[in-house]
Amino acid sequence: MQATRRALLAMPALSTLGLAAEGSGYPSRPVRMIVPFPPGQAADVFARLVADQLSQRWPQRVVVENRAGGAGSIGMEAAARATPDGYTLGIGTSGTLGVNPGVMARLPYDAARDFMAITNIFLVPLVVITHPSFAPRSMAELVAHIRANPGQPFASAGPATAQHMTGEMFAHQAGLTMSHVPYRGSGPAIADLIAGNVQLMFDSTASAMPHIQSGRVRALGITTAYRMAALPDIPTLAETVLPGFAAAGWSGIVAPSGTPAAIIARINRDVVAILREPAVVQRITALASIPDPTTPEEFAAFIRSEITKWGEVARLAGVRLEG
């Protein structure tokens, strides 16, 4: 509990009366939500879903602004440097807030100190997929195969992506030697997998699902702690070969450090309500993701745990990006 309180990122102590008074007039002008990636990616799609819903609830619009570049660092720096008044929010992800601190030496923001957590939006599990001709038919067989064939190549969406880092974490925890084959996105990687040019990949369920359903790739394991309703017959890595293993992509809302606590609470309350609406849940799950509304305390603690986890993976695997 004490760590969770610390993870609230220096939220100012205000009386209940003060909180109510400070947040009562918010928002009185349009709110900007910075997405640090181009339009069309999952973080952007779900940010726009939340922004549209907030615009219907609030007297002011929430406008999504895409600020791509630098593995998300350009947009996150803009969010961190904004006036902390609740009128500029950022969309932080597993990459920008979890992985980047461990792989980029010159990151222009401090993921643990420059932001106040509001709520996560969604989790997207990763899935271990193989070409149908690949011999292993289960996670146990895959581990045995790689142990007998050190250096087994695995494809990913690119260096330091969730797919790459999850593969490295799997290799380390299982005591295996694997060779990373980076691509420019999941699309080219999975196309090469389907063509048989690579045999193994860690991919997000959002991009892999159509190919799993068509039989063009075989799914061996899910990386989250629990099975997915959309893939009920695919076991988790935790229940098969690596107890406690858990990895996922994610995206949530943060604000510049120093944003008033009453505004953080107001945004959290409204976004959590949106993420629990049946139509929104259906929209998110239809894209092979999981709604993940949290309290600010929970989300802040989660971000800190992700920084620690992926920093250790980056250190052990020697993963570095130019920043």
Q: Which domains, and CATH codes, for the chain?
A: 2-123+248-317 (3.40.190.150), 125-240 (3.40.190.10)
Q: Tens of pLDDT along 265-305?
A: 999 999 999 999 999 999 999 999 999 999 999 999 999 99
What pLDDT does 23 receive?
Answer: 56
Instruction: Please say whether the dihedral angle defined by the alpha carbons of residues 201, 35, 9 and 298, taken in this order, is positive or negative.
Output: negative
Interatomic CA distance for residues 84 and 288, integer angstroms: 34
Distance of CA 8 to the CA centre of its chain: 19
pLDDT band at 322 (very low <50, low <70, confident <90, very high): confident
Instruction: Determine the distance from the C-alpha atom of residue 302 to the mean position of all C-alpha atoms in its chain, rounded to a whole number.
Output: 11
pTM for this one?
0.88
Query: 187-239 pLDDT, tens per residue?
Result: 999 999 999 999 999 999 989 999 999 999 999 999 999 999 889 999 999 99
Distance CA 127, CA 204 (A): 6
